[in-house]
Structure 1
């Protein structure tokens, strides 16, 4: 027998004073009421109820047990209510992982708006360019840039992560504006080292369907692209970075796009979450808002 069910029957029997009345309220037989009480007494090795043909009463230990059972059953009801409430209303902490550059520059304003719309949600954002195991690290939602390999994840496609090349007006006034991809070899390029694990740093562009690739050189390399962005604005070289971020600098006049007649590299981007459990409502709300903010609506397999 289930102990919590038996405890519920015992509490009701103690309050109503008879097995028959308890059976009527719980819609079970008096014999089943007796079985639940007997089960508890056998488990505990004590007598909870003194029973005669005319009346029943709690023993001293039965009275104490009754009081504790009421507390336990109340806690169980509260826990069930909390779980139901969190399943029906967005509430609680969402652990999110995102790449460093995208997460640091694009996510804060989005998260601020999201939290304003959902006051009972908290966001724990972790920024990292390494591979993250969501199950091992407790991550509920991830932004991933690049091809996906993990089939255990549910993925929703976002707008591609497009890269463009830019430099400051001051740099271009001194060094000239490259007209072709090959001319990049004559320039100081600001190199994001996370894009390559070798000493050769290759930038790839496309024009009229033809791919052109060049090995670039530069005196400043960094694994945090934000540092390279500041260096480009300071006039130290040409940076290759996210179009959505660099466009803001171009509009502000701090940078100028180079190689306008070429398309820069493009990487797929997705929001993903584990498929091993049903997503919570807070998770679904966050994913839906990310899709609305950053990309396309199609699911992928």
Structure 2
């Protein structure tokens, strides 16, 4: 029995809470994963996992063995990386997930740069707006927007999601322009609800250093960014999307900013990965690369203002403002 492989398989089964998902992420047949765990338990002379038709759980011995396996595998990876770093580039499969809007507008256009620097990394890029469980789904790292709640993960802040309150000229002509937060009581908004919870997302403003949330009345609620912005363009109500999503519409006059002195609360953008991945050279180089990429983008690094971006280029990599299409919106939460 290959004990190192058995440790890798066992920890992956625990992390994903599934024999099937562990097999998929390790590119092994499910039957092989089952056999390896059975042989490992026989070799150790103890049961590591409680198995039922619906769930897996660790036995006390399994929990202790898991913690030791994580440390041993991390030590092995660190040792290998220390010898490989001087003469070998990072390689292997790297699974990443991020909001579709960020992926399409910023990351994908720059992927040739990453591939040129690291040609041996097989990058699997998932573009989704749903919350991703890194451990259960075998994802190496994700880009997340908003407050991070899972303390078991390592997070590095790489940018800032800045919002803008705006409306179509047709709505403004019909309903007027709100001048204060109190005026919003008399206005309608296009509401955005979470696909995960169904909860309507309140509007959020930063006033004197404090977050102020406002519940908006509306005639329509959507959970898709294209629909959200389209409803705003059609005059259904006020919208509060991320600035980088609607910049072309603001430049063209299809949308106009409202409450310019009351900015929406900015939200941090972070790249997040499990503690067990922090020594991986392929994760490390990707995190460093995407952090640098965000730093080169004023709209997502917190250095741009609406007045500036409406008159200058969107991304520093471009010589002129790109013809941006409205991308899919993240749910703005971790």
Report the TM-score when normalising by structure 1.
0.60
Aligned residue for 2:24?
none
CA distance in 2, matches of 1:233, 1:117: 41
Partner of 1:124: 124
Task: Mark the CA change 1:199 to 1:278 in structure 2 (over 3 Å): closer, same or farther.
Answer: closer
Cα displacement string for residues 78-115 of structure 1 (whole angstroms, at most 9, x for unaligned residues)? xx9xx959x93143432111235444544433445434
Q: Say if 2:283 is the partner of 1:283.
A: yes
2: CA distance between counterparts of 1:129 and 1:232? 20
Tell me if 1:154 matches 2:154: yes
Who is 1:273 aligned against? 273
Structure number having the greater strand percentage: 1
Q: Flag the 1:106–1:180 CA change in 2: closer, same or farther, 3 A.
A: farther
2: CA distance, partners of 1:165 / 1:195: 22
Contact 2:278 2:284 in 1 (8 A): no
Write the distance in 1 (CA, Å) between the matches of 2:152 and 2:211: 33
**Which residue of 2 is the match for residue 262 of structure 1?**
262
Matches within 5 A, 1:167-182: 167-182=167-182
The answer as to whether partners of 1:181 and 1:212 remain within 8 angstroms in 2 is no
Q: Provide, for residues 23-72 of structure 1, a one-character-per-residue CA deviation record: whole Å limited to 9, x for no partner.
A: xxxxxxxxxxxxxxxxxxxxxxxxxxxxxxxxxxxxxxxxxxxxxxxxxx
1:122-271 equivalence runs, <5 A: 122-194=122-194, 197=197, 201-209=201-209, 211-271=211-271
Following superposition, the deviation at residue 153 of structure 1 comes to 2.0
Where in structure 2 are there 5+ consecutive unaligned residues? 3-79, 296-300, 302-334
Q: How far apart in 1 are the matches of 2:197 and 2:135? A: 27
Shift of residue 178, structure 1, vs aligned partner: 1.4
Change (3 A) 1:91 1:276: closer
Pair 1:249–1:290, CA change in 2 (3 A): farther
Aligned pair in 2 of structure 1 residues 182, 127: CA closer, same or farther (>3 Å)? farther
Asked if structure 2 preserves the Cα contact closer than 8 Å seen for 1:101 and 1:225, the reply is no
CA displacement 1:98-144 (0-9 Å, x = unmatched):
23544454443344543455444443222344432212211111112
Partner of 1:45: none
Measured at CA, do residues 227 and 114 of structure 1 come closer, stay the same or move farther in structure 2, by a change above 3 Å?
A: farther
Residues paired across the two proteins, number: 215
The match for 2:293 is 293
Please state how far the C-alpha of 1:185 moved relative to its aligned partner.
Answer: 2.9
Contact 2:168 2:255 in 1 (8 A): yes
Tell me the distance in 2 between the aligned counterparts of 1:98 and 1:228: 20
RMSD: 3.2
Q: Is the 1:170–1:235 Cα contact (8 Å) retained in structure 2?
A: yes
- Consecutive unaligned residues in structure 1, runs of 5 or more: 3-79, 297-301
- Structure 1 residues 210 and 139, CA gap change in structure 2 (3 angstroms): closer
Quick one: distance in 2 between partners of 1:274 and 1:199?
28
Do 1:207 and 1:261's aligned partners in 2 also have CA atoms closer than 8 Å? no
Cα distance change, pair 268–93 in 1 and its aligned pair in 2 (3 A): same
> What is the CA distance between 1:212 and its match in structure 2?
4.0
Distance (whole Å) between structure 1 residues aligned to residue 229 and residue 205 of structure 2: 20
Q: Distance in 2 between matches of 1:95 and 1:101?
A: 18
Query: How far apart are 1:205 and its partner, in Å?
Result: 1.5
- CA 1:222–1:122 in 2, change beyond 3 Å: closer, same or farther? farther
